[in-house]
Amino acid sequence: MHIRIINPNTTASMTAAMGQAAQQQAGPGTTVSASQPDAGPVSIESHFDEAISAVGVAEEVLKGEREGGIDAYVVACFGDPGLLAARELTRAPVIGIAEAAFHLATLVSTRFSIVTTLGRTGIIAEHLLQQYGFSHHCRRIRAAEIPVLDLEHHPDAAFTRIVEECCRARDEDGIGAIVLGCGGMANLTQEISREVGLPVVEGVTAALKLAESLVSLGLHTSKHGDLAYPRPKTFTGKFSELSDLALPLKS
């Protein structure tokens, strides 16, 4: 099977790192490819960033549908930007990394805490916990207070801050597991788990394994109800190329 990892931001090194982390965890016979939008924010750290990046996610799914042969998509940003819109565009499963991480964390513990990058993005995680029905499983949302791109530009210092916050979560929150709240942490999971001594769930690899499971079970995104293909209509301005879009793009 072929799973496409979509990085909603435009930092190519982060896209490559997430793709590599996913491929390392992929099962035999699973091919992983990674892509990113042509335009958008270099990192996603606000509601505004998410709104812009959601368009890029939709465009990447449409590109994948035109290519054909992609069995599932992973939206690799912890805000799950554009997730439901992406699901409208394809029959393939589309998995958001926050939703995937929450699900897997509850399978190995009764309570978890989230350790993310900036405190302001914790509000986005809180909204997702409520939306997905996991609020009662999450003890606390913690921030290492590092910009996302510090994971690329200052990896050692960023790793130290993340581990410190994970240890505080372990010692103070009464939890059994930690969820990492940024796709850019995908290549740090095992190191952090060794340092902290708790199960650490990271969303890119969690979403990959869920995607593999859905494809293996023959489950696809329902086209009955609100996730049906969008109705063709006229778009104006810079979105005019989406006018009268007839989905599915490939039978």
CA distances from 25 to 103, 122, 186, 193 (A): 18, 27, 11, 16
- 177: tokens are 């597991």
**What is the strand order of the sheet 112-116 is part of?**
138-143, 112-116, 177-180, 200-202
CATH code for the structural domain at 98-202: 3.40.50.12500
CB 65 within 8 A of CB 86: no
CB 4 within 8 A of CB 33: yes
With a threshold of 0.85, does the pTM exceed it? yes
Residue 250's pLDDT is 67
- pLDDT band of residue 249 (cuts 50, 70, 90) is confident
CA distances from 224 to 41, 62, 95, 227 (A): 33, 20, 18, 7
pLDDT tens column, 207-227: 999 999 999 999 999 999 999
CB 57 within 8 A of CB 94: no
pLDDT tens column, 76-107: 999 999 999 999 999 999 999 999 999 999 99
Residue 174, φ and ψ in degrees, nearest 5: 65, 45
* Average pLDDT of the residues of the chain: 96
Secondary structure letter of residue 147 according to DSSP:
-
Dihedral of alpha carbons 84, 186, 102, 2, sign? positive
CATH topology agreement for domains 2-96+206-242 and 98-202: yes
Domain ranges of the chain: 2-96+206-242, 98-202
Task: Give residue for tokens 């994970």.
Answer: 166
| β-pair partners for 140 | 113
CATH code for the structural domain at 2-96+206-242: 3.40.50.12500
